[in-house]
Structure 1
């Protein structure tokens, strides 16, 4: 029964393999829209062109998104459709697809239409639109979340498999939390901004909404790519998801966890942190005050002026065409000077140094996606304050060039959706998504569909990291392990070499070191694989003393990684300790068997 078919990538692909036609899926999508009876979701419905695109697909051809329906926030161009940015007077007919839309359509995806938003992507509540406000499908008394309101609601209702939003201050994450879906905000520049109406050009990015982390990541892999026409575009390899359970995660400490008195939200967040700890993560509590200081800068000085620049002369020549709240937020920017902007840059630089010091000791951050919920009544009474509160954990992210993903973690004690966001340095998108996959839970939006089993993930380095095998003093808990952790290294897994190596306790020390040598009559030697950021790898290698060096080590499963090896000349005076099977076992040998040989 197609009316019961989950619009997830796996479910749709299975249905197509069994004979379902793309036209049937498009027809069902618009039937679901009609049943929702919510005129606020779409600004432009594209039923006819979607059906035509479905018919034009022909037989399945192996493209990754063949026949997958999606929607696009109406500040992103789709050829032949109007782009309004939720301002009717601004509307124009797009003559070509935005770069990202083109990539998705080339992969076989079908555009269903353009969705509602907070005007000019200014807001986190989803009510700043001249069109009807989309209704939150989980709880109609709370806001749908903005600015990507329609895009989030379309996915939460199962109308689209995925959607495109944008994210400057949290517009790709806050609506995800409010609608119990996934919101992936990539590293800035990973998605081209060609064909996107800017809100704050230096901080904008297209984002992805989906029902699961796995789906969001597949879309991300298609959407990302270098665009020579976009000066901000960066080549950020997507890579694959991996087992990231043994990571160091920073969380707000008790004093700086801000939920504005929402004890239920605080309890939900702490429960998720405990799940991460149980899964193997090391949790480090941090004073989040520097991050909050950065967040407050987003609507001050330079970046408020940049929003004014994006709207252009409309603010002074046609102010009546703007939503009253949008206008009230932007007008103070008219009084700002270049001096104000530069002072903002200087202050951000100083605050960024404080934040980087906190980030240096962890692999990722975990925060509540939103500190608390906002109702329609609250935002009607105060259009500014509640909106600002929603950005507590989102406003600082793009200013600090972090990537992130919001993920549902199951219902709170009061039944409202729980959500956390994983954040990490630019380029570590796969790390964030991999951690998110380990905690996603609860409802798939408002659909009632059963959440599929999470993907089976294997330990692996992320894009921007190098796998390094260590077999001695650099292993966990041993004297030189800090040389990895201080450079942002993270533990991947414990394993063994292929049975082709011999281990020797080298002369000299402290620190005592082993030497791994590949030989025809060898054995399997225990070791650890760590992931080290590529930009710190050269610095690490420069500190390795002779006779040790970095070569290629074969693991027990046949994989090869970079790792410590020893020159044959360095074995003078060394003791062969291969019989112990590894350095830890050698160090733990009975005292009576210990020798004076250097290790």
Structure 2
């Protein structure tokens, strides 16, 4: 039978206009040349100041989207009709006629993970059988629209946000934008591809076990997981309600911070939202220096040899940039990492399904998704088990509060932030490798990622250059991106972003001199 949210050929329903005339109307656009430049927010806003029109940018983006369909046809689960986006672009001038009063995302194109509600557009969560059409939009989406953003479409994702490989979507498996052989990462798979390929400026997603940070790494972009509760999660289909965090993918730190500033704010209707009084206040007037710890050598043995080499270069570069390498207690991080999937916590994934749905309809799920849910049920965890795990979580969170901290006025006018730096994943597997061991590799990818939400940390996955990998088809070596995640304590979002901004250029240049 035909499932909701699925076209007759089994693929996603793509709402778009075909054959729309794409000609330049010089009376409308002026004599400016065809636009085809960077979608970085700062760069794009400068283009607008110079006279480029949002309509020109949108037409160019849709040309890029058309071209990229040949490479990856299943990136989009919903693509806005070109005419609708052009209409929204036209309305920007009506809504904000004074250029000096334009909001921060004026004319900025963005995509949305298909777990985030947009009124009138199906939310599939990568699962056609559970697809529905919401009547209201999620606040995080609406904030972007109210700030002048231009919505382009909803993106493919790992089914029910159940993994980090990007290989569990019934709409098609995506690959890294750097290699057709290697995984894209998940669960915010299509979102990462759209940013990496310059189809949008940023994307809205979510992160539970690494769903923003992992695809950011594998596609050479920035993934920002803020403190949970600083951005409303209302209207975002959950994976694990207690751990989920609305997050962002962007080309650089500045763009990610700009979008976060638009979207953050207390939402009383989000029961996990944090009150401002629960967050540490930031003081940008003082100088900020940082100390950093790394996993012990035995933990880093999980990494491939090339990842260990690249990580060593990052540590050296951070030290040369002013960071002070210190020994931090890794035990609470490692212990918290086990709680997400190897405890009663995994049962929370079952709460996202309607009562009795799984037993009646599990054959409609992706085989690996079904295996994850069946494994959770097979644990036979009790309420006592759950409470014991909650007690452990509280213990680990308290221990980490003493590790990742902000020390005020360590010197006159100087604050000091202590962070943890980890490889975002231990290696970059191929799609074929994942197909042979989907659960095993997914678990290995989380070696340095699963603890972040369990401990309520803020984290930034930042690109750190690239490295050569042999092409298994016999071609020339493939250049794959490498990156690390830098983590700070809850509520220290502004301080962490400031530190990462200081490091971004240095880290991004690592490995660029290799052939």
The answer, yes or no, to whether TM exceeds 0.5 is yes
Q: Matches of 2:61 and 2:467 in 1, distance apart?
A: 30
1:560 maps to which residue?
Answer: none
115 and 239 in structure 1: CA distance in 2 versus 1, 3 angstrom threshold: farther
1:421 maps to which residue?
Answer: 485
Q: Matches of 2:131 and 2:285 in 1, distance apart?
A: 43
2:308 maps to which residue?
Answer: 266
Residues 70 and 109 of structure 1 are in contact (CA less than 8 Å); yes or no, is this contact kept in structure 2? Answer: yes
Q: Matches of 2:430 and 2:284 in 1, distance apart?
A: 36
343 and 221 in structure 1: CA distance in 2 versus 1, 3 angstrom threshold: same
Q: Alignment partner for residue 377 of structure 1, among 418, 432, 457?
A: 432
1:209 maps to which residue?
Answer: 249
2:386 maps to which residue?
Answer: 341
1:30 maps to which residue?
Answer: 62
2:112 maps to which residue?
Answer: 72
Query: In the TM superposition, what is the alpha-carbon distance from 1:288 to its structure 2 partner?
Result: 2.5
1:149 maps to which residue?
Answer: 189
1:181-212 C-alpha deviation (Å, 9 max, x unpaired): 00000001011011110110011111100001
Residues 108 and 201 of structure 2 are in contact (CA less than 8 Å); yes or no, is this contact kept in structure 1? Answer: yes
Q: Matches of 2:61 and 2:280 in 1, distance apart?
A: 32
Q: Matches of 1:443 and 1:57 in 2, distance apart?
A: 37
2:364 maps to which residue?
Answer: 321
TM-score, scaled relative to structure 2: 0.82
140 and 238 in structure 1: CA distance in 2 versus 1, 3 angstrom threshold: farther
Partner secondary structure for residue 289 of structure 2: coil
Query: In the TM superposition, what is the alpha-carbon distance from 1:239 to its structure 2 partner?
Result: 5.9
Unmatched 5+ residue regions in structure 2?
1-32, 408-416, 470-478
Q: Alignment partner for residue 77 of structure 2, among 31, 40, 43?
A: 43
Matched, 1:408 2:443: no
Q: Where do residues 65-464 of structure 1 align in structure 2 (5 Å cutoff)?
A: 65-234=105-274, 235=276, 246-260=289-303, 262-313=304-355, 314-334=357-377, 335-359=380-404, 363-412=418-467, 414=469, 415-441=479-505
2:28 maps to which residue?
Answer: none
Q: Matches of 1:375 and 1:120 in 2, distance apart?
A: 22
Moved more, 75-84 or 242-251: 242-251
Residues 120 and 311 of structure 1 are in contact (CA less than 8 Å); yes or no, is this contact kept in structure 2? Answer: no
418 and 208 in structure 1: CA distance in 2 versus 1, 3 angstrom threshold: same
Q: Matches of 1:154 and 1:92 in 2, distance apart?
A: 24
Q: CA RMSD in A?
A: 2.4
54 and 373 in structure 1: CA distance in 2 versus 1, 3 angstrom threshold: same
Query: In the TM superposition, what is the alpha-carbon distance from 1:346 to its structure 2 partner?
Result: 2.5
Residues 289 and 499 of structure 2 are in contact (CA less than 8 Å); yes or no, is this contact kept in structure 1? Answer: no
Q: Matches of 1:246 and 1:356 in 2, distance apart?
A: 18
332 and 241 in structure 1: CA distance in 2 versus 1, 3 angstrom threshold: farther
Query: In the TM superposition, what is the alpha-carbon distance from 1:81 to its structure 2 partner?
Result: 1.1
Q: Matches of 1:266 and 1:3 in 2, distance apart?
A: 41
Q: Where do residues 500-519 of structure 1 align in structure 2 (5 Å cutoff)?
A: none
Q: Matches of 2:376 and 2:130 in 1, distance apart?
A: 20
Residues 3 and 28 of structure 1 are in contact (CA less than 8 Å); yes or no, is this contact kept in structure 2? Answer: yes
Q: Matches of 2:260 and 2:120 in 1, distance apart?
A: 24
1:548 maps to which residue?
Answer: none
Q: Which has the larger radius of gyration?
A: 1
Q: Where do residues 552-571 of structure 1 align in structure 2 (5 Å cutoff)?
A: none
17 and 238 in structure 1: CA distance in 2 versus 1, 3 angstrom threshold: farther
Partner secondary structure for residue 147 of structure 1: coil
2:9 maps to which residue?
Answer: none
Residues 217 and 461 of structure 2 are in contact (CA less than 8 Å); yes or no, is this contact kept in structure 1? Answer: yes
Q: Matches of 2:54 and 2:280 in 1, distance apart?
A: 30
Residues 460 and 486 of structure 2 are in contact (CA less than 8 Å); yes or no, is this contact kept in structure 1? Answer: yes
Moved more, 224-233 or 236-245: 236-245
Moved more, 102-111 or 299-308: 299-308
127 and 442 in structure 1: CA distance in 2 versus 1, 3 angstrom threshold: farther
Query: In the TM superposition, what is the alpha-carbon distance from 1:411 to its structure 2 partner?
Result: 1.4
2:90 maps to which residue?
Answer: 55
300 and 252 in structure 1: CA distance in 2 versus 1, 3 angstrom threshold: closer
Q: Matches of 2:291 and 2:203 in 1, distance apart?
A: 31
1:516 maps to which residue?
Answer: none
Q: Matches of 1:134 and 1:164 in 2, distance apart?
A: 18
Q: Matches of 2:89 and 2:172 in 1, distance apart?
A: 29
Q: Matches of 2:67 and 2:232 in 1, distance apart?
A: 35
Q: Matches of 1:238 and 1:409 in 2, distance apart?
A: 29
Unmatched 5+ residue regions in structure 1?
449-599
From the two aligned structures, give the one with the greater helix fraction: 2
Query: In the TM superposition, what is the alpha-carbon distance from 1:406 to its structure 2 partner?
Result: 0.6
Q: Matches of 2:172 and 2:87 in 1, distance apart?
A: 28
With a CA cutoff of 8 Å and minimum separation of 6, indicate the structure with the bigger relative contact order.
2
142 and 438 in structure 1: CA distance in 2 versus 1, 3 angstrom threshold: same
Residues 245 and 279 of structure 1 are in contact (CA less than 8 Å); yes or no, is this contact kept in structure 2? Answer: no
Residues 159 and 366 of structure 2 are in contact (CA less than 8 Å); yes or no, is this contact kept in structure 1? Answer: yes
Query: In the TM superposition, what is the alpha-carbon distance from 1:80 to its structure 2 partner?
Result: 2.1
Partner secondary structure for residue 97 of structure 1: coil
Residues 280 and 492 of structure 2 are in contact (CA less than 8 Å); yes or no, is this contact kept in structure 1? Answer: no
1:349-408 C-alpha deviation (Å, 9 max, x unpaired): 344454445446961111111111111011010111111111111100111111111110
